[in-house]
Amino acid sequence: MSRRIQLLEDDDSLRLVISRALSRAGYEVRATASPDAAIDRMARGDADLLIADVLLGRENFLERLQEVRAARPNAPVIVISAQTTAATAIRAEQGGAVEYLPKPFDLEDLAAAVERALGTAGETKRSGADPFAMLAGRSPAMQEAFRAIARLAPRREPVVFSGPDGSGRAAAARALYAASERDGMLREAGPAALDDDFAGVFEGLGADDAVLLRRAEAWTPKTQARLLERLEASGAGPRILATVSPDAGRVVRPDLMDRLGVGHVDLPPLHERGDDVLLLFRRFFEAGAGRPPELEAAAERYLRSRVWPGEVRELERAARRLAAQGGPGAVTLEAVKAAIATPGEAAADEAIETAAMRYAANLLEADETDIAEHVRAAAERGMIRAALAATGGVRREAADRLGLNRNTLARRIAALGLDEESED
């Protein structure tokens, strides 16, 4: 039976385009411009997922997300909007949306969001598939991650999957679950679901099941306290897996990190994975085009040397865009550059502002002090890491690219604890 999607969009053209695209992808789509009709259908159980625009005439649908949550607490909601502001993104997440896509967006990005949402709604049954099918990599760092997954899979202890956003943390967690010896269910939950219905996330799960809790860096202090209480309680329950960012220790309480991190799998950033970039690109391209890509030498060099802020997720999008374009012949450098989505200045500023707001909000809720310094340091670490990655860790070149004096950069590297990531 195909999965059912309810689309709420008042733009006739966009409603038709989205409906056709998702129908071609194998989903059963019902579309309406009426918020009441959409909510009624969700409440009746006539759809597995809701895709909703924000502004519908004079109505802001974010104000009605709680009605959907009340009627179908486990049904995922994807919010789309031309209001590309931090406030809209934050309100969507607070309302329980699993994804927020600002307009205009690629239909393939929407399809990927739908796949993720439906893949994480409810439970996933174990299968006999290759447990490492979702991951690929020959680099030493990835091989170590694979060994850790294989070693930890049959055990019962909690496991933390750390790495940059987009590096494959959730995929690694699912691979560990698939490789486990227990014939149970995997349930996934993001920060909003944990905060809104903590008990519901664990409801009905037993000792043979597992729960994947995503993005620990965005958990509220209330969620952290309740999770620690659960971990400290005696009795059998589902195995707990969690994904965290490398700097999650700044906002997640240490005692909780100690309890979660009994087992640990580290997913390296893409710039530390060498020729895995080309391996992954070819894998993603072939999955979309049905044939392996022929890459010009200049395109290969560019793929290897480019800094990928969005990690594996960004690389996958670029490869799939190129695959969708089709056409014979080798993939050129120009085609690769055109396929890589580079946000405009306003969109980039918005993304930075949203990340800073969320980070600061978590620090404030945790009663931290020197908030401004924490946020500045986080932004500076990202900036310096990007420059070091682009220059192979050579500080002189990184300083030139950043417009900094070499001695100033050296002091900031030492102060931020980045000494091991660079060389003179």
CA 189 to chain centre: 12
Q: How confident is the model at residue 420 (pLDDT cuts 50, 70, 90)?
A: low
Mean pLDDT of the chain: 83
CB neighbour list of residue 298: distance below 8 Å, 6 or more residues apart: 332, 333
Backbone angles phi, psi at 332, to 5 degrees: -90, 165
Indicate the pTM of the whole model: 0.55
* pLDDT tens, residue by residue, 334-359: 999 988 855 443 344 545 666 777 77
Tell me the per-residue pLDDT of 2-42, one tens digit each, with 9 for 90 and over: 689 999 999 888 899 999 889 888 888 999 999 989 998 88
Per-residue model confidence (pLDDT) at position 235: 66
β partners of residue 125: 185
Q: Residue 79: how many CB atoms within 10 A of its CB?
A: 27
Residue 192 · residue 79 · CB < 8 Å: no
**Domains 4-120 and 124-268 belong to one CATH topology:** yes
Q: How confident is the model at residue 82 (pLDDT cuts 50, 70, 90)?
A: confident
Cβ-based neighbour number of residue 327 at 10 Å: 8
Long-range contacts of the stretch 270-275 (C-beta < 8 A, 24+) = 270/167, 270/308, 270/311, 270/312, 270/315, 271/307, 271/308, 271/389, 272/139, 272/141, 273/137, 273/139, 273/141, 273/142, 274/139, 274/304, 275/138, 275/139, 275/304
| Beta bridge mates, 423 | 394
Whole-angstrom distance, CA of residue 106 vs CA of residue 313: 14
Q: Which residues contact 214 (CB under 8 A, 6 or more apart)?
A: 170, 188, 189, 190, 191, 242, 243
Q: Which amino acid is at 278?
A: L
CA distance 245 to 260: 14
What does the buried/exposed string (b/e) look like for 108-137 if buried means 16 or more CB atoms within 10 Å of the residue's CB? Answer: bebbbbbebbbebbebbebeeeebbeebbb
Per the rule left: phi > 0, alpha: psi between -120 and 50, beta: everything else, 185 is: beta
How many residues belong to the chain? 424
Query: How many angstroms separate the CA atoms of 289 and 287, rounded?
Result: 6
pLDDT(226) > 70: yes
**Per DSSP, what are the bridge partners of residue 266?**
162
Confidence category of residue 376, pLDDT binned at 50, 70, 90: confident
Average pLDDT over residues 384-396: 80
99 in helix, strand or coil? Answer: strand
Q: What percent of the chain has a predicted confidence (pLDDT) above 70?
A: 88
Amino acid letter at 66?
A: Q
| Residues linked to residue 55 through DSSP beta bridges, in sequence order | 60
Q: What is the mean pLDDT of residues 304-333?
A: 86
Kindly report which listed range (87-91, 143-147, 175-179, 201-205) carries the lowest average pLDDT score.
Answer: 87-91
244 close to 218: Cβ distance less than 8 angstroms:
no
Q: What CATH number belongs to 345-421?
A: 1.10.10.60
Q: Pull the structure tokens for residue 236.
A: 């059998």
Strand partners of residue 80: 53, 101
Query: In terms of Cα–Cα distance, which of 195, 190, 155 is closest to 170?
Result: 190
The structural domains of the chain, with segments of one domain joined by +, span 4-120, 124-268, 281-336, 345-421
pLDDT of residue 277: 93
Pick the CATH number of 4-120 from 3.40.50.2300, 3.40.50.300, 3.60.10.10, 3.40.50.2000: 3.40.50.2300
CATH number of this structure's domain 124-268, picked from the four choices 3.40.50.300, 3.20.20.10, 3.30.420.280, 3.40.50.620: 3.40.50.300
Average confidence (pLDDT) over 383-409: 81
Contact 80, 53 (CB under 8 A): yes
Contact of 218 with 358, CB cutoff 8 Å = yes
Peptide bond into 104 cis (omega under 30): yes
